[in-house]
Amino acid sequence: MRFSDSFLDEIRARLPISAVVGTRVTWDKKKTNASRGDYWACCPFHGEKTPSFHADDRRGRYHCFGCGVSGDHFRFLTELDGLNFPEAVERVADQAGVPMPARDPQAERREKEKASLTEVMELATAFFQERLQSSDGAKARAYLRDRGITSVTQQTFRLGYAPDNRNALKEHLASKGIEKAQMEACGLTVFENVPVSYDRFRDRIMFPIEDSRGRVIAFGGRAMSADIPAKYLNSPETELFHKSNVLYNFARARKTLGRDETVIVAEGYMDVIGLAQAGFEHGVAPLGTALTENQLELLWRMTKEPLLCFDGDQAGLRAAFRAAELALPSIAPGRSLRFVIMPEGKDPDDLVRDSGAEAFQELIGEARSLADMLWLRETSGGVFDTPERRADLEQRLRKLTSTIRDESVRFHYSQDMRERAQAFFGTRRDNRGQGKGNDNRSFGGRGQQAAGRLPVSDRLAHSALVRSAGPVMPLREATIVVALANHPALLDAYFDQAASLDLEHPDLGKLLAALLDIVARGEPHGPGEVAAGFEARGQAEVWERAVGLVKSAHQWPALADATLEDAREAFVQALHLHRSSGSLHKELKAAEVALATDPTEENYRRLVEIQAHIREAQSTEALIEGFGVTSGRVARG
């Protein structure tokens, strides 16, 4: 019995390959990362003591780096158990809960027709490639050369050129024995409402669009003439091609995606190609439209947190907001999105061509979470100066988070949005009350930390849509990093603790990483030298901001001219408070989830107990408030 490709793809989509292989092997706990779909075991095909057999759920493949065997769900059973292919399909389908199809002669006939159509598309692809290299394609080659696309990249992506002729492709295919009906079924000719069909693509650079198995199923064409109304033209919907179910470069990106990488979603063909040429080979793009639910599912089959790139103008941010709202109902533990907002007037292809791969990598490091984008959408440009307006914001946030289907994620999003609103409104009230004795002078006190969740980042703040300030730097975190940088003896004594610090503010995290890199490379890092190291790593502005914040809050023990004893005493206290606060708040969230899902008296008592511990910790922090002013030491900042 012949099985359709769609049936086999459905089985693979429903059942991770680890579930098939896991019935015959024991996964290695040290090397396996189940949350990333990354599994390791000793190979069942040859005897070994160290695990070299790898199963990758994202790609639906297994491979042994020892003996070289590899394959998919079905090949694993045919090679290991000696089953024939139909038997392997039946076993995996049963495990996946997919009913076996009844014999359908019509379906088998359609599969044969689709196979013949893919052969036609392959002939068309080869024709377009050949024309790009001919005299007809000189203008197209010059355009690609001006865009920095090398000949190797052109061949990798099989770029081509459709001549400015109404019948060039049609006549070529006819000479190969292809019938008129097959050309029409592939969408290669225009035949409706015209007496004689003609080529759909003319005078265009051609981008072959492949399915998940790497077979050409459609084309995108970029017009060479500026007078053409449609700059980009895609193939119409056909038996092979349904654009809402396809991502450009999906098969190639899935194949090249590394274990520690995530798929990058750009907006166009040239972005994907430009990124690949710059070393980011795991890029894909929707086909001229906004992302669809089916395309999101394809992305999540590849990686847990796809990275979506959007322009920094109003249209780009609106597209990012639409994608965030579309994804929200379907997110789940370990399944979300992150967003990269490009500088205004730049797309990924422009950026890597003008500024290099490092500039794009830096943007990836600044990616915003899905929760950040939703909060930004609801707050950007808004005025919340009355109780009614604040209540309206909270109502919209509740309505938004209620669409999340996963109960656990929905709970955490509701809590996160509630905390953001409380911090946001509290910050606004604090700003109105400045100069009335509300300053917080503790070593990393809470006043600044409460303001650390403002709605926008520095990069978004300079976009066309948002013009407000970026996230406020938490004082305690800033003081810890400044103290480590200004007192090398502290860094030597507490290097492991510093390396494992979990900092909420992204810029401070990068600053700490730069400091650790300076030490690891053996560079000079005395109080007068560390600034040069930060400047060399592009962190001078963050360092100046952090020092300025510490000085303005009178946290003199962290500064360079404080004694080591003072610095150590204050640093140890701040480190303890930072860790205690983080640990207690994680316990609090877990207790709230437990009470929400299982409202027992025991869970309620646990929640009350943790809340009491948090109040005690806050009281302890209050005891050291004003350390730099009232301790008798002279403030030196």
Which pLDDT value is given to residue 631? 36
Could you tell me if 87 and 1 are in contact, meaning their C-beta atoms sit under 8 angstroms apart?
no
Structural fold of domain 5-96: DNA Primase; Chain A (3.90.580)
C-alpha closest to that of 267 among 320, 331, 224, 209: 320
**pLDDT-based confidence at 459, cuts 50/70/90?**
very low
What is the average per-residue pLDDT within 31-43?
A: 89
Distances (CA, A) of 229 to 243, 308, 373, 600: 21, 28, 34, 65
Q: Does residue 600 register a pLDDT over 80?
A: no
User: Tens of pLDDT along 10-19?
Assistant: 888 889 999 9
User: Tens of pLDDT along 308-343?
Assistant: 998 877 788 888 999 999 999 999 988 999 999 888
Which pLDDT value is given to residue 67? 80
Which part of the chain has CATH 3.90.580.10? 5-96
What is the average per-residue pLDDT within 408-420?
A: 92
Q: Which amino acid is at 504?
A: E
Higher-confidence residue: 529 or 166? Answer: 166
Q: In DSSP terms, which residues pair with 62 in a beta bridge?
A: 55, 71
* Domain 250-375: top CATH class: alpha beta
Structural fold of domain 475-630: DNAb Helicase; Chain A (1.10.860)
- The tokens describing 484, both together, are 């480590």
464: DSSP letter: S
CA distance 169 to 249: 24
C-alpha closest to that of 234 among 224, 225, 244, 243: 243
- The tokens describing 563, both together, are 């004694």
Higher-confidence residue: 440 or 313? Answer: 313
| Lowest mean per-residue pLDDT among 317-331, 368-382, 580-594, 611-625 | 611-625
Which phi and psi angles does 514 have, rounded to 5°? -65, -40
Q: Does residue 119 register a pLDDT over 80?
A: yes
Axis-axis angle for helices 540-552, 475-486 (nearest 10): 110
**pLDDT-based confidence at 108, cuts 50/70/90?**
low
Sorted by sequence, the CB contacts under 8 Å of residue 494 that are 6+ apart come out as: 484, 571, 575
Q: Does residue 359 register a pLDDT over 80?
A: yes
Q: Does residue 55 register a pLDDT over 70?
A: yes
What is the average per-residue pLDDT within 431-435?
A: 44
- What number of H helices and E strands is found in the chain? 29, 15
Which pLDDT value is given to residue 563? 87
CA distance 417 to 407: 15
Could you tell me if 128 and 162 are in contact, meaning their C-beta atoms sit under 8 angstroms apart?
yes
Higher-confidence residue: 345 or 284? Answer: 284
Please report where in the chains the tokens 């599969």 appear, as a residue.
111
CA distance 322 to 316: 10
Could you tell me if 485 and 543 are in contact, meaning their C-beta atoms sit under 8 angstroms apart?
yes
- The tokens describing 164, both together, are 């400015």
User: Tens of pLDDT along 255-302?
Assistant: 887 766 889 999 899 999 999 999 999 999 998 778 999 999 889 888
**pLDDT-based confidence at 6, cuts 50/70/90?**
confident
- Sign of the alpha-carbon torsion through 215, 220, 222, 228: positive
CA distance 15 to 95: 8
**pLDDT-based confidence at 4, cuts 50/70/90?**
confident
- The tokens describing 632, both together, are 């008798």
Average pLDDT score over the chain: 82
pLDDT above 90 covers a percentage of the chain that reads: 38
Which part of the chain has CATH 3.90.980.10? 105-241
Consecutive H or E run containing 220: strand 216-223
Could you tell me if 424 and 454 are in contact, meaning their C-beta atoms sit under 8 angstroms apart?
yes
**pLDDT-based confidence at 54, cuts 50/70/90?**
very high
Which pLDDT value is given to residue 619? 44
Which pLDDT value is given to residue 573? 76
Which part of the chain has CATH 1.10.860? 475-630
Q: Does residue 156 register a pLDDT over 90?
A: yes
Which pLDDT value is given to residue 428? 47
Q: Does residue 130 register a pLDDT over 90?
A: yes
Report, at the CATH architecture level, how domain 105-241 is classified: Alpha-Beta Complex (3.90)
CA distance 24 to 241: 38
- The tokens describing 332, both together, are 């789940």
